[in-house]
């Protein structure tokens, strides 16, 4: 049978308003699989490649020329893989082929089980975790939550060097008075290049040090003796009020690791939930005589 190259006629445009007209015909051949409504673009022995096999390879807006080149490369790769597979099947022993098929079946089984487990988790696993659960878990495993860095709660202000009313800023940023803090916030909205209260969250001390031009050799001593930090350079003035701190090696505050504890609790729930599914399926199969152990 003679094959004639017909690759340059078939260009397919796929998408919502983007239709690829792919004019690529590789081979003209009378051996076409039955029940196919398309002319094949390529053939390797009795295996055919059709235009519909290209529909998922295009992504985004690309030109007709680019789509034709992508299709050409894809089909050549398909041909090479089929030929290589044929060569492998001829040269690999039956025993090796059996082992490959067993591994494929194991992989298929693992993927099917995984998809089923994820479906059950999405449908039935309770993912709501209360703060009481978090606190209880934290107290039960306190020795596992040790800080590996110094952390702080702080208020931070960065102002241009020529900002007005700096004495007021010094009074406001050091205060816990809500009225002063409101005044500071309004002032910073107008003048500050940075203003962070960090929502009363714990942050690494290094994060603050990266914002302020100060040199700190011993962080623990510095935190012990410096609640208020003021510094300046040629462009800005910096103010920080360290409202609280925890030292590396001490227990992490529960607020600092809230999200981590949530993840641990949820993961433990998943493990327990999946074990319960396995156990229930096992005993259901046992009650229905679906299996026997000899």
DSSP state of 60: S
Single residue among 90, 108, 127 that ends a domain in this structure = 90
38 touches 51 (CB < 8 A): yes
List Cβ neighbours of 64 (8 Å cut-off, separation of 6 or more).
Answer: 11, 13, 20, 21, 22
Residues 154, 240 share a domain? yes
**Domain for residue 276, yes or no?**
no
Task: Please list the pLDDT of the chain residue by residue as tens digits (294 residues).
Answer: 444 333 333 333 333 233 333 333 333 333 445 546 788 999 999 899 998 888 878 777 778 788 888 889 999 999 999 999 999 999 999 999 999 999 999 999 999 999 999 999 999 999 999 999 999 999 999 999 999 999 999 999 999 999 999 999 999 999 989 899 999 999 999 999 999 987 679 999 999 999 999 999 999 999 999 999 999 999 999 999 999 999 999 999 999 999 999 999 999 999 999 999 999 999 999 999 998 888
CATH number at residue 162: 3.10.50
Spatial distance between the Cα atoms of 194 and 188, rounded to a whole number of angstroms: 8
Residues 173-184: b if buried by 16+ CB within 10 A, e if exposed? bbeeeeeeeebb
**10 Å Cβ neighbour count for 241?**
20
* Helix, coil or strand: residue 23: strand
Counting Cβ atoms within 10 Å, is residue 265 exposed (0-12), middle (13-18) or buried (19+)? middle
Spatial distance between the Cα atoms of 154 and 134, rounded to a whole number of angstroms: 24
Q: Could you list the residue range(s) of the whole structural domain that residue 45 is in?
A: 4-90
* Helix, coil or strand: residue 221: helix
**Domain for residue 95, yes or no?**
no
**Domain for residue 107, yes or no?**
no
């Amino acid at each position: 049978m003679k094959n004639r190259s017909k690759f340059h006629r078939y260009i397919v445009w796929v998408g919502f308003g983007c239709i690829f007209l792919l004019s690529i015909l590789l081979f003209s051949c009378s051996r076409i699989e039955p029940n196919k409504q398309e002319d094949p673009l390529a053939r390797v022995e009795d295996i055919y490649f059709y235009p519909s096999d290209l529909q998922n390879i295009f992504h985004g807006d690309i030109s007709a020329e680019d789509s034709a080149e992508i299709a050409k490369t894809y089909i050549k790769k398909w041909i090479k893989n089929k030929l290589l597979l044929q060569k492998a099947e001829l040269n690999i022993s039956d025993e090796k082929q059996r082992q490959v098929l067993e591994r494929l079946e194991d992989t298929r089984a693992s993927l099917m089980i995984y998809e089923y487990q994820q479906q059950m988790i999405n449908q039935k696993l309770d993912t709501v975790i209360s703060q009481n659960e978090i606190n209880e878990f934290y107290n039960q495993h306190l020795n596992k939550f040790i800080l590996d860095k110094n952390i702080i709660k702080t208020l931070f202000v960065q102002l241009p060097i020529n900002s007005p009313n700096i004495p007021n800023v010094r009074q406001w940023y050091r205060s816990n008075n809500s009225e002063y803090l409101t005044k500071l916030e309004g002032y910073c909205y107008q003048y500050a290049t940075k203003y962070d209260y960090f929502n009363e969250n714990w942050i690494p001390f290094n994060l603050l040090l990266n914002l302020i031009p100060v040199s700190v050799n011993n962080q623990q001593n510095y935190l012990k003796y410096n609640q208020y930090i003021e510094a300046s350079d040629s462009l800005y003035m910096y103010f920080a009020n360290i409202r609280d701190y925890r030292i590396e090696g001490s227990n992490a505050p529960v607020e600092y690791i809230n999200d981590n504890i949530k993840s641990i609790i949820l993961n433990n729930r998943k493990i327990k939930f999946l074990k319960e599914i396995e156990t229930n399926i096992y005993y259901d199969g046992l009650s229905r005589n679906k299996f026997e152990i000899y």
